[in-house]
Amino acid sequence: MTLSNPWFIAAVVGVLGVFHLEIIATFLNLAQFRHALPQRLKDIFTDETVQKAGEYAGASARLDLLRSAVSTAVLIAFWWMGGFAWLERWSNTWGWGEVPRGVAVIGLLMLVQNVMSLPFDVYDTFKIEAEYGFNRTTPGTFIADRLKGLALTALLGAPLLALLLWFFQTQRLAALYAWATVAAFSILMAWLAPRLLMPLFLKFKPLENGPLREALLSLATRLKFPVVDVSVVDGSRRSSKANAFLSGFGKNKRIALYDTLIEKHSTEELEAILAHEIGHHKCHHVPKQLGLGLLESGLLFFLLHAALQSDGFFAAFGVAGRPLGLGLVLFSILYQPLSLLLGLAGSASSRKHEFEADAFAKQACGSAPLMTGLKKLSLDHLTHPNPHPLTVWLHYSHPPIGQRLAALEG
């Protein structure tokens, strides 16, 4: 590890740069609560609501900063104390092949990361979310969700990871093969997740026959959007926050509404929310976002292939050889700032798509029901009424509530 190594300089600047950028964005965002709200938002957020939203945002931000500080400190200490070199030497004593050893090393580090994040996740769920009336997760459900997540990661992630490592060990066009494999896996998961994976965590039951079901199916028919099922999701078992989504391809699309959404919104508002989701499909946002993701993954694998061929890349982390599994971990550290930059384009595209879906819903149902629904969601979730532009730029996949309402009024 020397200052003459460009990989080392890029890694240090990237890790510390992203950490400090997040700190700046967090403080600027919290400072926005001291500013007067635009008149449009004053009619929605009372002083009491703004104060409560600020307290909630502050509590969440402090926990996130502490989590980030601990993670960054542990990473730097492990790195500069020769931890990666020690891990390489230790894994070499196992006598395993390159691929199984790489899978094991990555799995071990992911497990350590999960254990480190566990106290923060517990505090977030059972302290902050509970204090502000959002959490409904029991300790049993929390533990079950974690175990299921780890099991799915092992069952689905380990074979995929092994295949990717094998590509980079044996194939000259490894980056191309890895990109094609991940693209196919992503498309397959988009189809399988609502059918096989999500039911492991959430219970889906058909929406009972009645005015709401008839209204939603009638809207889908009017908008020429084929729907085979309308389901109610038991989101209230985990949180009071509401959500809705569409899944499926072709003529097998399914509507899923959280029970908390149905409890708090009128039929007209639910129709407008559904029209918004249909708008994403009608405007072809799903394939556009998928295409953008595939472009980013293509760049990722190209850069990964270049890094794995460089002795200087491994030397930047104190590693003497070229261990594939550890190389993927080290590359994820180096790739973090670039991922953040590429994420800006994805987030900007997503915010644009939200405006377009709102416009579609306005044309289908009028602006009033969607505006009322958005106001309710913002208040129920204690959304930041006026976030700082830097935070929006870095992290918001949806436009702030004020911008969405202004667009719907326009």
pLDDT of 255: 83
Could you tell me the pLDDT band of residue 252, with boundaries at 50, 70 and 90?
A: low
Residue 22: count other Cβ atoms within 10 Å of its Cβ: 19
Q: Domain for residue 362, yes or no?
A: no
- Indicate if 138 and 238 belong to the same structural domain: no
Average pLDDT over the chain reads 91
Residues 6+ apart with CB under 8 A from 292: 345, 346, 349
- Indicate if 270 and 295 belong to the same structural domain: no
- Indicate if 254 and 140 belong to the same structural domain: no
Last residue of a domain, which of 261, 282, 303?
A: 282
- Indicate if 126 and 250 belong to the same structural domain: no
Could you tell me the pLDDT band of residue 251, with boundaries at 50, 70 and 90?
A: low
pLDDT of 336: 87
Residue 229 pLDDT > 90: no
- Indicate if 129 and 244 belong to the same structural domain: no
Average pLDDT over residues 144-164: 94
358 an active-site residue?
yes
Residue 175 pLDDT > 60: yes
Q: Domain for residue 118, yes or no?
A: yes
SS (H, E, C) the chain: CCCCCHHHHHHHHHHHHHHHHHHHHHHHHHHHHHCCCCHHHHCCCCHHHHHHHHHHHHHHHHHHHHHHHHHHHHHHHHHHCCHHHHHHHHHHCCCCCHHHHHHHHHHHHHHHHHHHHHHHHHHHHHHHHHHCCCECCCHHHHHHHHHHHHHHHHHHHHHHHHHHHHHHHHCCCHHHHHHHHHHHHHHHHHHHHHHHHHHHCCCEEECCCCHHHHHHHHHHHHCCCCEEEEEEECHHHCECCCCEEEECCCCCEEEEEEHHHHHHCCHHHHHHHHHHHHHHHHCCHHHHHHHHHHHHHHHHHHHHHHHHCCHHHHHCCCCCCCCHHHHHHHHHHHHHHHHHHHHHHHHHHHHHHHHHHHHHHHHHHCHHHHHHHHHHHHHHCCCCCCCCHHHHHHHCCCCCHHHHHHHHHC
121 an active-site residue?
no
Dihedral of the CA atoms 304, 305, 310, 311 (nearest 10)? 80
Q: Domain for residue 192, yes or no?
A: yes
Average pLDDT over residues 98-117: 95
Q: Domain for residue 60, yes or no?
A: yes
- Indicate if 117 and 180 belong to the same structural domain: yes
pLDDT of 300: 92
**Which CATH number characterizes residue 248's domain?**
3.30.2010.10
Can you tell me the distance from the alpha carbon of 146 to that of 122, in angstroms, rounded to the nearest whole number? 11
Residue 99 pLDDT > 60: yes
Query: Which residue, among 183, 186, 193, has the nearest Cα to 247 in the 3D structure?
Result: 193
pLDDT of 250: 63
Residue 61 pLDDT > 80: yes
- Indicate if 46 and 147 belong to the same structural domain: yes
- Indicate if 298 and 212 belong to the same structural domain: no
pLDDT of 150: 93
pLDDT of 249: 65
Residue 253 pLDDT > 80: no
Residue 385 pLDDT > 90: yes
Q: Lowest mean pLDDT of 170-184, 237-251, 278-292, 364-378, name the range.
A: 237-251
Average pLDDT over residues 379-399: 94
Can you tell me the distance from the alpha carbon of 25 to that of 30, in angstroms, rounded to the nearest whole number? 9
- Indicate if 190 and 214 belong to the same structural domain: no
Q: Domain for residue 391, yes or no?
A: no
Domain carrying residue 298? 6-200+284-335
Could you tell me the pLDDT band of residue 187, with boundaries at 50, 70 and 90?
A: confident
Q: Domain for residue 382, yes or no?
A: no
Residue 370 pLDDT > 70: yes
- Indicate if 15 and 112 belong to the same structural domain: yes
pLDDT for 193-203, tens place per residue? 877 888 889 88
Q: Domain for residue 395, yes or no?
A: no
Last residue of a domain, which of 250, 282, 314?
A: 282
- Indicate if 100 and 57 belong to the same structural domain: yes
Can you tell me the distance from the alpha carbon of 366 to that of 307, in angstroms, rounded to the nearest whole number? 52
Q: Domain for residue 75, yes or no?
A: yes
Residue 18 pLDDT > 60: yes
Last residue of a domain, which of 244, 263, 282?
A: 282
Q: What total number of domains does the chain contain?
A: 2
pLDDT of 290: 85
- Indicate if 184 and 290 belong to the same structural domain: yes
Q: Lowest mean pLDDT of 4-18, 116-130, 133-147, name the range.
A: 4-18
Could you tell me the pLDDT band of residue 245, with boundaries at 50, 70 and 90?
A: confident
- Name the pairing type of β-strands 227-233 and 253-258: parallel
Percent of the chain with pLDDT over 90: 70
Question: Which of the residues 22, 124, 269, 358 is marked catalytic?
Answer: 358
Percent of the chain with pLDDT over 70: 98
Owner of token pair 């399914």: 254
Question: Which of the residues 22, 277, 354, 356 is marked catalytic?
Answer: 277
pTM as predicted: 0.90
Residue 1 pLDDT > 60: no
